[in-house]
A = this chain, B = another copy of it.
């Protein structure tokens, strides 16, 4: 799991910088839309949105799958599948330590989504 899924480079257009103006300020080009839509899509399932929230708000900056799974009425494989979706969207990162696997948020992409949705800047 330290070796992440290889197709993660979908979303490293951003090196952490603001990237793109809010959608209320200018149209986003097709390529940007194609790049960012998968991240929104990944958040577009209630289970994954909750998972993302649990991961992002984990007190230690990370959380064990063993703490995520029992929070849902779903099987382990299903949770694992959702976590993979979040991983492939570039929203989270996973690391195995011993028997357990820990998930961490990837703040860069999250910030990018947030700034895209940001409401009108004070002046513009």
Q: A38-B44, A44-B41, A119-B114 are in contact. Are A49 and B27 (CB under 8 A)?
A: no
> In the docked arrangement, what's the CA distance between A83 and B23, Å?
16
Q: Mark A residues whose CB is within 8 Å of B.
A: 22-28, 30, 33-34, 36-38, 40-50, 52-54, 56-57, 105, 107, 110-111, 113-114, 117-120
Q: A117-B113, A119-B111 are in contact. Are A45 and B41 (CB under 8 A)?
A: yes
User: Is the Cβ of A54 less than 8 Å from the Cβ of B27?
Assistant: yes
Q: A27-B57, A110-B117 are in contact. Are A44 and B40 (CB under 8 A)?
A: yes
Partner among B33, B56, B119 whose Cβ is within 8 Å of the Cβ of A49: B33
User: Is the Cβ of B37 less than 8 Å from the Cβ of A44?
Assistant: yes
- Dominant SS at the A interface? helix
Known: A37-B49, A107-B119. 10 other contacts (CB 8 A): A22-B56, A23-B57, A24-B56, A30-B50, A33-B53, A34-B46, A38-B44, A40-B41, A40-B44, A44-B44
Residues of B within 8 A of A120 (CB): 107
Q: How far in angstroms is the closest Cβ of chain B from A79?
A: 14
